[in-house]
Every structure is written in structure tokens, then in C-alpha cells.
Chain A
């Protein structure tokens, strides 16, 4: 009730521990943090350094003969030169998938948040439900849906949207559809969260003040859902760009994304310097896109 009584508690902090206790418990937070922080330092941060080192290994080495750290900066331009089409493809596919996901996800999130009434929770479960089953199994299901002998392809051939020998599987369309499908829930959930807080009366106020539905959306709904839109976009874009499962299962080597190459560099060709350089390039490219995007969106607070 008194403002000052809330000073120590309102920020989610503990009520200021009395002095006697403070001494006894000063080390406690560090003890609580130690195991988890150590785990993340050793198995998250340290490996990144190791990966950085690996990307600078002498490319003439091999797993059996051993690698020498020769600061071979040339690995980066070499990797980029060899695989820039896959890089471009990764970003192109995930960008197209993002646009599709926004076109589908925004109405979905809006409908659940503002129109669903008592069906709200059920619809939310439907959004999350795909994630209940294995990522790989449900990606494989698209092979059945898009199959050359399937109903969908048959229908599209009948209405001449596809030629008589036209296919969906093993085309960029399949890969983009798969990416859109797999990461759509990550876009919808944060978007839903911010649209759910939107007060419907604001829209009524806007239309009372002579805004057309479109204007009301552009001037009220869209800006207010910005935090969710930004978070959802990032949660979609980061994993989609680094994904290679969809390209592998639904595409052909012609649709390979950068992840397929990193996978084969590490696990098939055993070319660690190149794989590491590609990994870092991927991360740098994603970070750059994210950074530019956040600057444009004008909300650095999200991160």
C-alpha cells in the first residue's frame, strides 16, 4: 500500500533480506547459478570458440592426420565462393516461407485472440498440436500429401495448374511449404500473445473516430501487435534458415540449403574447417539479417 513498502518487492526482487541474513546468504545465488552456468559455458560458449578455431584450421589437414590451427582465414571466402547459391537459397526459401507464414499466421492468431470466444483454448491446442508428434515423422507425411499419385497433385493436374507430368514433391514448392508448415506455430504463438492483450474497445474507438476497418487495422491493431510480430518473425526465421531437414526430405540436391552442406561437411566429407566456416557464415548472416530487421522495426528491446 505505501509506495515505499513496495520498493523492495515490486520489481520481482526479494523483500530486502535483513542484514543478518544477507551475510549468511550472500553466496547462495552464486551456488544456485554455478552448475547451470558452468554447463552453458562449457557446452555452449566454449564450443563456439572451438568452432571458431576449427574454421581457421589448415584446410589440407584431415581428421585422421590431425588439423593445425594456421589462422587460415581463406576458408571463409573459399566456402562462400563454393556454396553461395545454397546460401542465397537458404535465405530466399526462408524469406518466402516467412511471407506465406505471415499471411496465414496473422489471421489465425487474430481469429484465436479476438474472435474465438470460448473456443480459444481448443484452437490454441490445435496450433500447438503438430508439435506433439515427431518433427521428422510429420515432415515425411508431406511426402504422402504431395506424392505424385496423391489426390492433391491429381487435382492440380486436372485443373491444369500442373502439367500432366508436373510434380510438387522434389520441387522448391515442397521445401517452402514444408518450412512454412514446420515453423508456423513459432510465429503464431507470440503473435497470439500480443493480439490477445489487444483491447477490442480500441478498435471500436478507432471506428467511432471514422477509421475504416483497413485503417483501423493499420493504425491500431498492427502497431499494437508489433512486439509479438517481431518475436514471432525471429522465432520463425532463425530456425527456418538453418533447417535442412525439409530440403533433404522434400527436395533434391537442387533444393539443398546451407544446412545440408554443413551436415555433409562434418559428417560425410569430414572437412571440418569448411564446415566450421560455413556454420559461422550462417550464424553471421542470420545475425546480420536479424540486426537490420530489428533496426528497421525500431524495437531493439525485444532482444
Chain B
């Protein structure tokens, strides 16, 4: 399949100092990154963080204020969209309502003057499991089917890069899961570079090889999903990707291979390899599922560190119970405990000791004066945390 692709030199997609301003608002701020050929790359961020603008600049639908979009060695930043070997799966699909599925899928081929399209269209519809739907109109398909047509319509052109703009946003939860797996399968099959924009951290983590977390036009952290989750680079990432208990503290330098931290009158340590800095104001971070609750300090395993508190809320969510523990200084920590049948439920009001293995903690930069950052319980358990 690759042999049928473009003749242009294959290569990585590189963004170099890419900037986009709308009036006084900087949507994308001096962005530089490299997306290796054939990888599944996710741009993750909240609404308005600049991820869609970045995608639109790669597609050619938005012209950068400055900077380059390099495909291999070629700067395509100023080419019209139809001159780029890049195709897009649009948010809400943008299928042409007046054309049937065959013509939707064949649209790109026809525009490039290819006459015999039937075979390719059939093969593409087979790839997205929509054989026999060719004569229908987009409005006659379900959301999931439309999504797959949009994918086929883009993939049939064998772009060097496929852009996906929140492609699963309009689907319900169950279908979204299914399509995540499907998309990943197709990407592996065709081997095209996928750049996937999403605000859904779970979607990014399950599908992408590499995730870039964007905030305010900049990339906060870039890496493999597990690396980002286990060792976030900033407080923003720590709470955007899953939840974290971030305790405000002061780092007091390195002792051996540990960084010493004092926080709220307690003394803690974190392995130097898991510290972003070793001096000054820091956040000591622990993920809720890494925080274990016991009745007394005597039960804390050797080598674990701990703080005391009182259970103020216990939400039973099936696979786990989510606790809120109020510390002596008033912050509420979250702790998830798997309902594995070991140990019972803790009642609200019970005094507890929350403990963690220092190897699961991490140390992040904190702006001076910033207090603890703990997130309230979510309505929906963050599945990525439990799986």
C-alpha cells in the first residue's frame, strides 16, 4: 500500500518555531517538535490550548504567523491545502451531504485527475468495514459509520500525514472505545503518520505512541503515555493527565540519591531520578491510586512515607472506592483503593494514615506562594488510572 503513496521524499513531520496569533491573542506560541514518520502522535489539551490551530496549520487551513512546517526537508507552511500530501479527518466529519459514500471517498482521487476509482474505493471501504454502503448518503449512516467514511475519504489519498481533529468526540462512550481500537489497527496496517488532536486524555493514552500535552499555546510535556503519567513534568500535566495530590513544600537539596522535602511540618524524600528540581519551592506529588490508607502509623510498611488524616468522603464506584482524606492542615487528599476483596471499607470520620512508596512520588516546580493542589473526586472514575 505504501508504494502507491506520494513520490515526495518520505520523512518526519517537523514543526519549527511555529507561531499563530489572532490579533493580540497568541494561539500557538513558538512551537517546535518532531513527529517521526509512521508514528501515532497525539496532541492533548483543553479547549483553547492551541492544539486545533496547530493541526489546521499543518493542514494548510490556517497560515502560521511565523515558523515552519517541514515534511521531510520541504517547508509546506505556505502551500495551499490542496498542494499538501496531508489529509484531515474533521471534527464532525464534514462529509459532503450531496454526494454518496462512494463519491465522498473518491473525492480526493477525482480532484487529482484519477479516473478509475472504483477498485480503490471498494478496498478502502473494506478497510473501514463499510462494504456495500457506497450508494448511501452520509445522512443515512450512523455516527460511527460516518466517522469511518471520513477516515476512508482521507486515507484513500495515501497522505504522508493523516490529521485527526477530535475524530471520536461525537460518538458515545462504547462506540468511542471500539473506534479507538479500530483506529489503532488501521494505523498499524497503513503505517501512515497519524496526528491526533484530542482533549480526552484516555483517548490519547490508549492510542498514541507519543503524547504532547499542550497548554496555552505551548507544549508542557512530550513523551510516551506511561512516562508522562508516571512522571509528569509540570503541575498542569500532573492534573490534566489523571489526578494527583500535590503537596506544597520546600526542597532542601540532595542527600545520597534522594531529594529531601519539608512540607506542612513533615519531612519527606523523593528519589533524585523522580525530581524535576532539588531546591526551592516544590510540589510533592502522589497519584491517588498510589496512596494507601491504613488505620494507624504502626501498619505503614517499612520505607513508606505517610501523613495522618480523617476520612471525609467515601465514594464506592464499583472497581474501586475513592476516599477523601482531610489532613491536619486542611487539605483533602484523594486515595483510590481497588475493591479487590482485600480489606474492608473505611467509614467516613475514621482517622487514617495515608502512606506511599517514595519511589511512586514525584517532585515538580511550584510557583512561590502556591498552596496544595488536590483535585476533587470525579463523577466518572478515570479509567486509565484503574486499568
Using a CB–CB distance below 8 Å, which chain A residues touch chain B? Answer: 1-5, 7-8, 15-16, 18-21
Contacts and interface: CB of A to CB of B under 8 A. Distances in A.
Q: Closest 4 A-B residue pairs measured CB to CB?
A: A18-B63, A5-B52, A2-B52, A3-B48
A236 to B, nearest CB: 37
Contacts of B246: none
Given A1-B197, A2-B50, A15-B62, 8 more contacts: A1-B52, A1-B166, A2-B27, A3-B47, A4-B52, A7-B22, A18-B62, A20-B78
Main SS at interface, chain B? loop
Contacts, number: 42
Nearest to B22: A7
Interface in B160-186: 165-166, 169
A251 B91 CA distance: 63
Contacts of B290: none
8 contacts: A2-B27, A2-B47, A2-B48, A2-B52, A15-B61, A15-B62, A16-B22, A18-B62
B62 to A, nearest CB: 7
Contacts of A19: 63
Nearest to A15: B61
A4 B56 CA distance: 12
Contacts of B166: 1
A2 B22 contact: no
Contacts of B63: 18-20
A16 to B, nearest CB: 7
B314 interface: no
Nearest to B25: A4
Contacts of A18: 62-63, 78
Contacts of A16: 22, 62
A1 B169 contact: yes
B228 interface: no
A4 B48 contact: yes
Q: Kindly name the residue among A8, A18, A21 whose own CB sees the greatest number of chain B CB atoms within 10 A.
A: A18
A62 B63 CA distance: 65
B51 interface: yes
A18 B49 CA distance: 21
Contacts of A15: 61-62
Contacts of B53: 2, 4-5
B326 interface: no
Contacts of A7: 22, 25
B373 interface: no
B148 interface: no
Contacts of B50: 2, 4
B199 interface: yes
Nearest to B64: A18
A1 B199 CA distance: 9
Given A7-B22, A20-B78, A2 B49 contact: yes
A7 to B, nearest CB: 5
